Structure 1
Amino acid sequence: MAVGRVVLSCSDRQVLARVLVVLNWVSVVTGAVLVSVGVYLWAELRRWEEVMSEDILWSVPVVLVWTGLGACALNLTGARLCLDCSDLNRFLRWKLVLAPYMGVSLLLTTGVLLAAALSLGLNASGRLDAALEAGLSSAMRRYKDSDRNLELKTQLDLVQIQMSCCGKDRYQDWFRVQWVSDQYLDRTDPRVQDRFRSNVAGLYLSDSVPFSCCDPASPWPCPQTHLSSRPAPHFLSLVQSSRSLGLWGKGCREALGQHYSSILNLISLTANLVLQMLVVLGVRYLQTSMESLVLIGDPESDSEAWILESGLCETLRVIKSLGKCYHGNDDPNIDRPITGSGAHPTDQ
């Protein structure tokens, strides 16, 4: 028994073809959106790569771009194909193309699913958060090496300014790393010597933050040093207490995580997936209805259409039988005598 069997009249086929043309063009637009999202995500990952670990999923923007390009190319072809296939004479020219087109459409749908899974996995698995945590921690430790890597210092300052954040999770994170270069410290100063001796790692730790932690929109002045001696009121939250000191109230891990999550918004992926599935189903109905019409021979008559010609189990058995090979005595032609000119029967 056919799965999804319907009967389509001549007008139904024409309406279906027009609807599929519109869906294909909308899919071209959503494919272009996927390409744009992939390119923008790649650019943003490259932009802040100094403050991210090497474990970041670079495959996500690659899959988005190639899936979007595939959607654009396939659906541009599909728009012309669906328009022609509503006419019996023009359908015969495309008949051999429809099966490969359906296969490529299914592959593209799988690609959209893969892109959605990667985007979800980047957030749900915590991989993005882990990459940001490791990258920011490493960047903060290397911030002081401005004489050897000024680019990293500049990029971390830009992250804090443009993302309105300070430290990895809060401004106190800077208290646990030496962010002032040794070349700017006077080793003969007793206070500097005390700082070096105050911890087992032998680092110059201080309760201060870089200038990029200051919030220019804050009504309070922004003291960068001796922050521990300027406690905020106890009734203020962490963000409020940071702002009361004139500092950004959010950590950079949270800020960058929200930034990348907003780029990986699944609305465009979901829309593309739904549209692609509708196109695949619609083209399948149009294909089978026109094949039925070829057998009937009357272009004005009604024709049957279906998704699967037989039940799902029967279809799977047919597919399985296509890959089955005869072995040994299973071959019905074995032991049969060869007949014809110049051939001799086998000995009995």
Structure 2
Amino acid sequence: MLLRMKFTQQRRVRLAQGLWLMSWMAVLCGAFIFTLGIYLKIELLRRAEVMDNTEIHVVPNILMMVGLASIGTNWVAGRVCQDSLDATRFPRWKVLLLAWFAVLTIRTNFTISVSFTSTCHCQVGLRNGIRFYKDTDVPGRCFQKETIDRLQMEFRCCGNSNFKDWFEVQWVSNRYLDYTSKDVKDRIRSNVDGRYLLDGVPFSCCNPASPRPCLQYHLTDNSAHYNYEYQSEDLNLYPRGCRQALIDYYMGLMNSTGPGVLSVVLIQVVLVSLRYLQTAVEGAMALEDPEGDSDGYLLEKGVKETFEEVKANVLNMLKFGESVPVQGMCSTFCCN
């Protein structure tokens, strides 16, 4: 037996009570993870119009699945711990516990992988969103301007990478351009695509904490403003791009899975301890003395022997699965 321990009736009761408490703590952690997934999903849907990458929705979906799985598996663990104190109710779990241990092990590894998935999929930004800033009259994009303005003010950011991203797109609607003006005509002719580009940014890029009045236009022209140097001036704009601001925000949410880490630790402890409880209770029942001493262990045999036994069982199941279709085909052929 691997890591055998002696259990009295009192120790079995205390182990069951402690595991019951930890199981319900893990249920609460699972509920937190599920709630965090829902909140993150809502936040992403709120800003879906300006997101470059829709694959980030994988992250809240995984968090919700992990949260539900944690609630379900740990609720089962709590019931097992409760029934282990009753010799008439515990035997019904004997068949299900082996499968439950396997599911719990897989789910624990799955929970650990969520953190890596969260990091890989957190690619968001406004690169495509700012192109539609001017389309206030286009169905489906009417609120794009308002969404981006609110986002830049809320997250104190400007553009995708920085404020210069606005120099590359026409963010002023054509309905507000005077095509009889020479300046407008010259700017449109100077661009191959016929766009009205200018070295300016929307008002939502202005930093209200700056002591200087906001500079929105002619940002690259030193002579357009008094006591102004383009290369050294902070422009009174938010220096951070919205892509970095959004990544910091969503990664902060995803890294708030402290209860998730606690859940993983609790699950590992519950997994090992519940195995001891199972074998100790079954040992006492086998001796027909529920209140007597019994041995608890993790594996009935050594690690190598257990691995070989599981491997043999899996191979036998695979052989049985292959033989059934062959026999069915033979019987059909013979009948014909």
TM-score bracket, shorter-length normalisation: 0.7 to 0.9
Q: Distance in 1 between matches of 2:146 and 2:5?
A: 65
Compute the displacement of 1:84 (Å): 2.3
Compute the displacement of 1:116 (Å): 3.0
Correspondences of 1:147-226 after superposition (within 5 Å): 147-148=137-138, 149-226=141-218
Deviations 1:171-229 (A, max 9, x none): 12211211111221122211111112223333211111111112233322112212223
The answer to whether the aligner puts 1:302 opposite 2:302 as a matched pair is no
The equivalent of 2:14 in structure 1 is: 15
Moved more, 142-151 or 86-95: 86-95
Q: Distance in 2 between matches of 1:197 and 1:35?
A: 54
Of 120, 124, 130, 1:140 maps to 130
Q: Distance in 2 between matches of 1:228 and 1:115?
A: 45
Deviations 1:43-101 (A, max 9, x none): 11111111112442322211211221222233223223202213444423433343343
Three-state SS of the structure 2 residue aligned to 1:227 is coil
- Contact (CA 8 Å) 2:220, 2:230: kept in 1 or not? no
The equivalent of 1:262 in structure 2 is: 252
Correspondences of 1:336-347 after superposition (within 5 Å): none
Q: TM-score with structure 2 length normalisation?
A: 0.85
The answer to whether the aligner puts 1:29 opposite 2:28 as a matched pair is yes
- Contact (CA 8 Å) 1:112, 1:272: kept in 2 or not? no
Alignment identity in percent? Answer: 37
Residue correspondences, number: 311
Q: Distance in 1 between matches of 2:165 and 2:107?
A: 45
Deviations 1:87-124 (A, max 9, x none): 444423433343343233234324323423322433xx
Q: Which runs of 5+ in 2 are unaligned?
A: 320-336
- Contact (CA 8 Å) 1:116, 1:269: kept in 2 or not? no
Correspondences of 1:1-348 after superposition (within 5 Å): 2-122=1-121, 128-129=122-123, 131-132=124-125, 136-148=126-138, 149-229=141-221, 230=225, 241-242=233-234, 245-265=235-255, 266-325=257-316
Three-state SS of the structure 1 residue aligned to 2:170 is coil
- Contact (CA 8 Å) 1:178, 1:204: kept in 2 or not? yes
Q: Distance in 1 between matches of 2:89 and 2:228?
A: 78
Q: Which runs of 5+ in 1 are unaligned?
A: 123-127, 328-348
Distance 1:96 1:202, change over 3 A: same
Q: Distance in 2 between matches of 1:112 and 1:315?
A: 26
State the AA in 1 paired with 2:135: D
Three-state SS of the structure 1 residue aligned to 2:299 is coil
Q: Distance in 2 between matches of 1:112 and 1:68?
A: 9
The equivalent of 2:334 in structure 1 is: none
Which stretches of structure 1, 4 residues or longer, exceed 6 Å deviation after superposition? none
